[in-house]
């Protein structure tokens, strides 16, 4: 059996957004489900746009989410590998030089569209003679390089999400793999890395489907040209490919906002990483999205066959719902360093069921520490609260229910008339934490003083 190896390959040209996070998460979960490895590959071959600050941010965001790679590679440190792959493809006649400018290529595409033809490259570079190349060089024109697709047979594979896939290579442009300045585009370095790193499973967005068709041919060409380690699993078979539906907004449209929604935005809203994981783990699948904080349980239930073809809808409201439920599950030891000074385990358990975020504990803690604002009480309620202050007994195991039981019997009050004045006098609120849990947190002295003040 070959060990499963997946990879997440972000370009450090910006921060991770929610779509990137989902891709990283699913690759990590797939590897962990199969007992394999999850690799982080930093695609930093573009020195103009790649920033070290983004590399650091990618690592930090993954760590915050609890996604820990088993290894990391940087494309900027692997340039010799791409040179080797390039030379082997050139020697095998699978790449060729072209000189068109972007404006010339754009014009060609417009002409083809006007004639009702697909806007693919016309392979004019293949028609150039040695004399043509020499003339271009004499004019100071540097070539860009394209990979020559084999048009003889269709490209087919079994996609683990989309099912059987088939492409006619004649309908695809020969991809540019190297620019005039010698820098690399995505296609060749990615294929070379998948071979060298022994990647067995590639899970990514459906916008990469046509890239996969090209890369499958590139794998074959590289293998036939003698590139890669002999014992590499990819030498005998290609990676499994799975292309998941892209994220859309709740309105069902692609949202620019999703492209800027990342870990910083989630942290600003005090969203727990476990909530993000719970939502994104199952978004776009047939499995219910539930507030599952146990990552091991999510990994155990992860299955590519549950992924659907319909766009996956990301809804902030659903994330908030999941986050609230996750907060309600969080134990004191997990959150104690994020709570207000002096707030102990008893107070956390009293306040926790009313929270939407952990930071909301600050507001509820003010109820305990005071001061609180009291409403206007009627004369009857003030008399009732004076009786409550006198009846308060913390020697009972459950002072709240002991108090309300005594008052119900002595005053005949019940329901809202019994409970509401007490809550208002003790907390200044009409609703909030369970008073049976909150009253011991307030303590006998504070509780009696508040009742007496409300009765005055």
End-to-end CA distance of the chain: 79
Would you tell me how many other CB atoms lie within 10 Å of the CB of residue 220?
Answer: 14
Angle between helices 435-442 and 444-455 (to 10 degrees): 100
Distances (CA, A) of 161 to 43, 166, 187, 196, 209: 25, 14, 22, 25, 11
State both tokens at 103: 């404006």
Cross-strand partners of 166: 156
Cis peptide bond upstream of 81, omega within 30? no
Cβ-Cβ contacts under 8 Å for 56 (sequence gap 6 or more): none
Residue 38 DSSP one-character state? E
Would you tell me how many other CB atoms lie within 10 Å of the CB of residue 179?
Answer: 14
Distance of CA 245 to the CA centre of its chain: 14
Cis peptide bond upstream of 371, omega within 30? yes
User: Tokens 């508040």 label which residue?
Assistant: 450
User: Tokens 């849990």 label which residue?
Assistant: 437
Phi/psi class of residue 180: alpha, beta or left (left: φ > 0; alpha: ψ in -120 to 50)?
alpha
CA nearest neighbour of 288 among 250, 321, 244: 321
Q: What are the two backbone dihedrals, phi and then psi, of residue 5, each rounded to the nearest 5 degrees? A: -135, 120
Cross-strand partners of 249: 314
User: Do residues 42 and 297 lie in contact, with contact meaning Cβ atoms separated by under 8 Å?
Assistant: no
State both tokens at 294: 């146990």
Angle between helices 187-196 and 209-224 (to 10 degrees): 60
Helix (H, G, I), strand (E, B) or coil at 326: helix
User: Do residues 286 and 306 lie in contact, with contact meaning Cβ atoms separated by under 8 Å?
Assistant: yes
Distance CA 342, CA 358 (A): 15
Helix (H, G, I), strand (E, B) or coil at 178: strand
Length reported for the chain: 456
Query: Is 117 a known ligand-binding residue?
Result: no
Q: Could you list the residues known to form a binding site for ATP, using ranges.
A: 256
Q: Could you list the residues known to form a binding site, using ranges.
A: 256
């Amino acid at each position: 059996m070959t060990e499963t190896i997946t990879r997440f390959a972000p370009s450090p040209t910006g921060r991770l957004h929610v779509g990137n996070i989902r891709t990283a998460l699913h690759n990590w979960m797939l590897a962990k489900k199969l007992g394999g490895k999850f690799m982080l590959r930093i695609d930093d071959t573009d020195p103009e746009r790649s920033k070290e600050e983004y590399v650091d941010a990618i690592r930090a965001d993954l760590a915050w989410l609890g996604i820990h790679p088993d290894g990391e590679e940087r494309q900027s440190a692997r340039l010799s590998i791409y040179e080797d792959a390039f030379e082997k493809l050139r020697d095998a006649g699978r790449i060729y030089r072209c000189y068109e400018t972007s404006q010339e290529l754009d014009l060609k595409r417009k002409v083809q569209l006007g004639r009702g033809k697909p806007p693919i490259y016309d392979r004019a570079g293949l028609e150039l003679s040695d004399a043509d190349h020499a003339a271009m060089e004499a004019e100071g024109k540097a070539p860009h390089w394209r990979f020559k697709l084999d048009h003889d047979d269709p490209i087919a594979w079994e996609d683990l999400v989309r099912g059987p896939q088939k492409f006619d290579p004649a309908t695809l442009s020969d991809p540019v793999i190297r620019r005039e300045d010698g820098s690399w585009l995505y296609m060749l370095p990615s294929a070379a890395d998948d071979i060298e790193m022994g990647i067995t499973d590639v899970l990514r967005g459906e916008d990469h489907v046509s890239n996969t068709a090209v890369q499958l041919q590139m794998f074959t060409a590289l293998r036939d040209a003698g590139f890669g380690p002999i014992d590499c699993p990819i030498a005998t078979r290609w990676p499994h490919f799975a292309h998941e539906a892209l994220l859309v907004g709740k309105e069902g449209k692609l949202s620019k906002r999703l492209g800027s929604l990342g870990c910083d935005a989630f942290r600003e809203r005090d969203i727990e990483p476990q909530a993000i994981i719970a939502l994104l783990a199952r978004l776009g699948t047939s499995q219910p999205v539930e507030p599952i904080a146990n990552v091991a349980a999510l990994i155990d239930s992860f299955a590519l066959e549950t992924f659907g073809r319909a766009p996956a809808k990301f809804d902030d409201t659903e994330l908030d719902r999941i986050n609230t439920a996750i907060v309600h599950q969080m134990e004191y030891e997990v959150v104690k360093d994020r709570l207000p000074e002096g707030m102990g385990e008893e107070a956390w358990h009293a306040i926790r069921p009313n929270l939407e975020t952990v930071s909301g504990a600050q507001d509820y803690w003010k109820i305990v520490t005071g001061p609180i604002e009291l409403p206007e009480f009627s004369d009857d309620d003030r008399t009732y609260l004076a009786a409550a202050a006198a009846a308060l007994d913390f020697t009972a195991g459950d002072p709240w229910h002991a108090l309300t039981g005594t008052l119900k019997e002595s005053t005949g009050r019940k329901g809202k008339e019994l409970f509401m004045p007490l809550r208002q006098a003790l907390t200044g609120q009409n609703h909030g934490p369970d008073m049976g849990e909150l009253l011991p947190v307030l303590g006998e002295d504070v509780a009696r003083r508040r009742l007496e003040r409300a009765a005055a």
